Amino acid sequence: MVAVPAALAPVVYGLLNIASATGIVFANKSVFSIFNFHFTYALTLIHTLTTWVGMQGFLRLKMFEPKHVKRRQLLPLAAAYVAYIVLCNLNLNINPVGFYQITKIAVAPAVLAIDYLYYGRKASPRVTASVLVVCLGVGMATITDPQISSNLAGLTAGFGSVGATALYQIWAGSKQKELGLGSMQLLHQYVPLAAMLLGVLVPLCEPMGWSSREPGTILGYTFTPGSVVAIAISSVLGLLVNLSTFLVIGATSSLTYNVVGHIKTVLILTGGVIFFGDTMPPKKMAGIAAAMSGIIWYSQIKLAEARQSAAAKLLPQAVSLNDIGMAAQQVAAAEQHKAAALHKASDSEPQPEQGKLLGGPMSPRQRRTGALPVLLGAR
């Protein structure tokens, strides 16, 4: 992998994430609407196999350390991943790009709702207010769009993808903490399971055309150079989304990552209008603007709460270090006081005169032998 200078890493990784995340939406929509490859499970299987191969390459490049866990611990997460990706692709397959992106914005309220209903975790009043703004905007953008409001299958797929995405995000976060894995390590572990699940689901859920290879079946689909290139590009972009997300989080702050996410939303909504003919009447635009305002407000609140939580965790350590320092100062002061007291006591003792002889004056014998006197008080 080409080394990126540290000063340029945030910009390079941020641009890579924006390009890959917006590009995969347009590439997938092209596969579905332009090349008429409407096989959602099959496309998801191709993406997952590409990610599996790519993760092996990243492992060889030593981008992360392998860590193995028991497969049965990851099977529910792999199933949630399959449901999340399949429903997101189905959402994009049968709905306009704009509505697809609106449902992405609605994931944050869904995460909070699941947290409250299943885990009993209540959001702060400010977070709740921001989520209500998001819901109001999503509702306005949906109801005022005739392409969506009358499409029951599209609404079901769209909001089904919201629930599946929220559930996957919660489970992925909890599994990461439970198993002590990084995001790349976790993805490396459950992607093979997801590929095996999709390998079973494709012949069960897709029109395979085993008996007759008719149009509208996988075996009856006519692959062209353009369709093959489009599918390949969408698969590689799916891998790059995972890689760039990992890199941009490591090289930037949470605030930067959230800003990058808002930029992607604007670009995808704009691209839907320009490239795929999405309508953008004033009421729908107002709804999207309200939803965007709510999600930006929500992001700012969550970032502030994260900083406060981090500061609260550091405070006991700081107090403990302060207590240790004060105790050390007290011990040092006590030692100094003790030494001073001993020195004072020593100085207050009566000292013999310098030169006073041990045992009194010299005897006549000492004078004759020349024995040296022992001085008391000599140091």
What integer pLDDT is reported at residue 307 of this predicted model? 82
Checking if the pLDDT of 128 tops 50, the result is: yes
The C-alpha atoms of residue 67 and residue 179 are separated, in whole angstroms, by: 10
Q: How far apart are CA 240 and CA 260, in angstroms?
A: 15
Q: What value does the mean pLDDT of the chain take?
A: 83
- Residue 51, domain member (yes or no): yes
User: What pLDDT is recorded for position 367?
Assistant: 47
What is the number of structural domains in the chain? 1
What percent of the chain is predicted at pLDDT more than 90? Answer: 52
With respect to residue 215, please indicate whether it lies within any of the assigned structural domains: no
pLDDT, tens digit (0-9, with 9 covering 90-100), for 243-270: 888 888 777 766 677 778 889 999 999 9
Residue 17 pLDDT greater than 60, yes or no: yes
Q: What is the pLDDT of residue 369?
A: 44
In a domain, 371, yes or no: no
More confident residue, 378 or 209: 209
Q: How far apart are CA 231 and CA 226, in angstroms?
A: 9
Domain membership of residue 345 (yes or no) is no
pLDDT greater than 70 at residue 371: no
pLDDT of the residue at 292: 92
In this structure, the number of other CB atoms found within 10 A of the CB of residue 280 comes to: 15
**What pLDDT, on the 0 to 100 scale, is given for residue 378?**
39
Residues 278-317 pLDDT 10s? 988 899 999 999 999 999 999 889 888 888 877 877 765 5
**Residue 212 within any structural domain of the chain:** no
Cα gap 96→114, rounded to integer Å: 27
Specify the range with the lowest mean pLDDT, choosing from 146-155, 168-177, 217-226, 319-328.
Answer: 319-328
82 in any annotated domain:
yes
Quick one: pLDDT at residue 138? 93
Give the per-residue pLDDT at 293: 93
Question: 103 in a domain, yes or no?
Answer: yes
For residue 6, give the amino acid letter.
A
| Domain assignment of residue 1, yes or no | no
pLDDT attached to residue 158: 94
* pLDDT(193) > 60: yes
Question: Given a cut of 70, is residue 149 above it in pLDDT?
Answer: yes
Residue range(s) defining the domain that contains residue 157: 9-207+222-318
